[in-house]
Amino acid sequence: MEDLNEIARALVAPGKGILAADESSGTIKKRFESIGLASTETNRRDYREMLFRTKGAAQYVSGVILYDETIKQKAADGTPLVKVLQDQGVMPGIKVDMGAKLLAGAAGELVTEGLDGLRERFAEYKKLGAVFSKWRAVITIGQGIPSFYCLEVNAHALGRYAALSQEAGIVPIVEPEVLMDGTHSIERCYEVTRLTLREVFRQLAIQRVSLEGMLLKPNMVLSGKEATDRAPADEVAFWTVRCFKETVPAAVPGVVFLSGGQSDEEATVNLDAINRYAATVGAPWQLSFSYGRGLQAAPQKAWSGKQENVAAAQRAYLHRAKVTSAARMGKYSRAMEKEAVAV
Ligand code: 13P
């Protein structure tokens, strides 16, 4: 378990966080459509290779979460993409869940699948170089939901996943995402996130998961995306830190937030506020990032699938990584949004 703890701590080393580049085929297709690009295997490879080869990104990014296709893919020059990362000291990780599906008997709620054959898949991913993994559960806030049934089955699956990951010597990133979709208040998000995390840590304890050898990937506590009066960053920081203090054991080395559909700037401002507030009240865990859209929206737009835009896209990615890293230390300022970076 010592190795797991070392890897977990290295993933959340000061100034560092994680790039989530593990979009499933369906999700990356949607992202590419928004920049007018077909989702072919080569396009997906070229795009991810461009991110992974960005010079200087390793200063801010400790690890990258890959998708099944990507962990087996080779760069244009034949180098495995895993090696491209390893050569820069960036740790490869792997998404192992098979997505959220309709939960039987629970209208509007989801449960994540992917446990069958998972031990064997872990053995394969370990050989391919994965040192950490991720499983995402999805919790929806709505009229009368989430049900406790939904929280329990999702937390149980997270526990089964995390135990198998640790058995394989791979650090699990346990991701229970309470979605920001809806008109709910920040207080309601706080209540639902608190209930969710309580159930998750109960299941992790029952299933003998080492808390020192894992990371938690939660949502920030936010107002619903469609709420009329959305809480500002200082309230997000207050409710988020309060929620974790009530639910996340101190043995967990780090919390790596998802961006979850916030704009990249909003995700950065909120992460900064959370770290500043945590420094004043004290918090036992590193509070870092594992952003997908929060790091990729800008480079995707800059790239638009064109070779001549590669340098601009790499600059956009490096810039987001730099400012998100600053926010993760509580040292971000809006003025940084205008600073140029060189790749
Ligand atoms: P977002 O930061 O875009 O929410 O993605 C993070 C992630 O890995 C979701 O599973």
CA distances from 271 to 92, 205, 289, 296, 341 (A): 23, 28, 8, 16, 21
Could you say which of 175, 177, 199, 235 is catalytic? 175
Fold of domain 2-342: TIM Barrel (3.20.20)
Could you say which of 16, 95, 217, 322 is catalytic? 217
330: left (phi over 0), alpha (psi -120 to 50) or beta: left
- Take residue 66 and report the two structure tokens written for it: 């890959």
pLDDT bin (cut points 50, 70, 90) of residue 91 is very high
Can you give the length of the chain in residues? 343
Identify whether the C-beta of residue 136 lies closer than 8 Å to the C-beta of residue 177.
Answer: yes
3-state SS class at 334: helix
Cα(34)–Cα(201) distance, integer angstroms: 37
Percent of the chain exceeding pLDDT 90 equals 98
Long-range pairs of 245-249 with CB within 8 A, sequence gap ≥ 24: 245/283, 246/194, 247/194, 247/197, 247/198, 247/201, 248/197, 248/201, 248/216, 248/285, 249/201, 249/211
- Take residue 114 and report the two structure tokens written for it: 């992917």
- Mean pLDDT for the chain? 98
Terminal CA-to-CA distance of the chain, rounded, Å?
38
Q: Which residues line ligand 1 (CB under 6 A)?
A: 20, 136, 175, 258-260, 291-294
Take atom 8 of ligand 1 and give the residue whose Cα is closest. 20
What pLDDT, in 10s, does the model give residues 139-177? 999 999 999 999 999 999 999 999 999 999 999 999 999
CA 281 to ligand 1 center in whole angstroms: 27
Question: Which residue is associated with the tokens 């790499």?
Answer: 314
Q: What is the pLDDT of residue 2?
A: 63
Domain residue ranges in the chain: 2-342
CA 74 to ligand 1 center in whole angstroms: 24
Q: What angle do CA 245, 251, 255 make, to 5 degrees?
A: 60
CA 106 to ligand 1 center in whole angstroms: 24
| H or E element that contains 30 | helix 25-33
Q: Is the pLDDT of residue 1 over 80?
A: no
Active site residue 175: yes
Active site residue 245: no
What pLDDT, in 10s, does the model give residues 283-320? 999 999 999 999 999 999 999 999 999 999 999 999 99
Stretch 199-207: mean pLDDT: 98
